[in-house]
């Protein structure tokens, strides 16, 4: 992901073996990349509003 003054953009999302990557972006300020496997999901959310930051949420099932 790359942060810019106008938004966040995806540079690359390469999943590990057994995972798939999906992205969603409803506006320029926030980008979400989800890596899903058979028993685990990682969600990375990057935003510039109000400041540039990223958060990761992990779920195992």
* Per-residue model confidence as pLDDT tens for the chain (61 residues): 999 989 999 999 999 999 999 999 999 999 999 999 999 999 999 999 999 999 999 999 9
Q: What residues does 16 pair with on adjacent strands? A: none
How high is the pLDDT of residue 48? Answer: 96
Is there a contact between 23 and 42 (Cβ–Cβ < 8 Å)? no
Q: Domains of the chain: which residue ranges? A: 2-60
How high is the pLDDT of residue 29? Answer: 96
How high is the pLDDT of residue 31? Answer: 97
Q: What residues does 2 pair with on adjacent strands? A: 9
Q: In the 3-class helix/strand/coil scheme, how is 9-47 assigned residue by residue?
A: ECCCCCCCCCCEEEEEEEECCEEEEEEECCCEEEEEEEE
Q: What residues does 22 pair with on adjacent strands? A: 34
């Amino acid at each position: 992901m790359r942060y810019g003054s106008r938004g966040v953009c995806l540079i690359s999302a390469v999943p590990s073996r057994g995972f798939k990557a999906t992205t969603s972006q409803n506006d320029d300020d926030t980008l979400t990349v989800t890596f899903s496997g058979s028993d685990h999901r990682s969600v990375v959310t990057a935003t510039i509003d109000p400041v540039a930051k990223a958060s990761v949420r992990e779920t195992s099932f």
